[in-house]
Amino acid sequence: MPPLEPTDPRRLGVYHLTERLGEGGQGVVYLGRTDGGPQVAVKLFHAQPPDDPDDMFGREMEAAKQVARFCTAQVLDSGTIGSRRYIVSEYIDGPPLSRVVAEDGPRRGSALDRLAIATATALVALHDAGVVHRDFKPQNVLLGADGPRVIDFGISRALTGAQTMVSRAVGTPAYMAPEQLQPGELGPAADVFAWASTMVFAATGRPPFGNESIPIVFNRIAHEPPRLGTVEEPLRSLLTACFAKDPASRPSAHEILDRLVRPTGSTPRPPALAPPDATTTPHGPPPGKRRRPLIAAGAAAAIATAAIVLVVARLASGDSPDKTASVVTPSPSATAAAPRPSESTPRRTATPTRSTRSQAPSPSATPSPSQKPKPKLIRTVLGPGHFSAYCVKLGWEWVEYRETPTPGAYCVKNKGATMRLTQPQLDAGCRWRFTDPRARHYFKGKSNYCYTTKPAQTS
């Protein structure tokens, strides 16, 4: 990293500046730290702030501090030196996505999947905190040692205020949404469009509307479909939805994350072990076995018809009614005990003087159609739980596995508050993520995983 230049400040507030991390259109980023504290990134803006009677900068920075810190570089502090603003954020030791793609080529396979999920999770955290990024692009995604992190959120609105569209467009036009080409307030849908553009760049090495002159790019954004190149399904369909020209037609960040972690048509991997609660069975027979009661009813009708024909035949041959008294029409409850056609069955009962009613099989020995044997259930793994998104849904910020005070998964807040997830809550999280009423949670090491139970296939 380059050293400080003679004109660079050596201190901003309580932060000692030691090196330059980079310089862009908005300002210079320095590596800093407090006395005995961790390293931080300090961004000092070039331009003087516009008239800000409502302290928009301060309000935006306060909102940014509330963003969950997973998948983002947490905003820690902000201030002013003379007429210039600065913000302090968590230091992420990693290159931007733009440089990685330029040097190593487009992302593929699981690397692209992880990037999409991590950055979509960051959007969920931003939008849940009421923050719109407004400048989502490959330069603002850092690939740290612990995964992708989104930076510089909320800065555009804090600095520009009521700036015109033209001045706001300069810098990253290739990642702007159509509504940014018109004056007016921007909503979360603009971030969704920019996120999709960033993912196309990551997958192909080019932005979806090109990187030619600004008028050409703006015309493509407003009127032409995106160029998705070799992006494969199911990500391709999701990105296409995010590129809708109408902001109201785009999916939300929550919907994007849901489709990424639960793609349509995915086939869960069958496990070898039975679930701990394999005795739990669903209500009613499984769909594949609904025809069995109809088959049993048909068999009962056939047996009843045969019995009547047998009685009539005996009467015609001269047998007395006493000898036919033991031949009765079997009830549906007795059909399960009826012999198969291959078995030999005597035409007369062994003891005609006894009442057949006394020889009827007991309910415990012969199940009725309403008491069918419970199907055997097998365990089917659904996949990783990704419980940070569930913790966000519960009003927390991320999930961690902790050994103390009790080993388990904890929802955590930035200020240090924690909530240990009970087993019912973990199961509910799996049901929420996979939309499966029988989904359950289990730990794979210290990671959260989900499984479900399904009836075993019978031949």
Q: H or E stretch including 131?
A: none
Residues pairing with 22 in the sheet = 29
Residues pairing with 392 in the sheet = none
At 260, is the secondary structure helix, strand, or coil? helix
Pairing of strands 39-45, 84-90: antiparallel
The structure tokens listed for 301 are 């009708």
At 129, is the secondary structure helix, strand, or coil? coil
The structure tokens listed for 157 are 């609105």
The amino acid occupying position 387 is F
At 86, is the secondary structure helix, strand, or coil? strand
Query: How far apart, in whole angstroms, are the C-alpha atoms of residue 380 and residue 403?
Result: 28
At 134, is the secondary structure helix, strand, or coil? coil
Query: How far apart, in whole angstroms, are the C-alpha atoms of residue 442 and residue 331?
Result: 47
Query: How far apart, in whole angstroms, are the C-alpha atoms of residue 427 and residue 410?
Result: 14
Which residues are tagged catalytic? 135
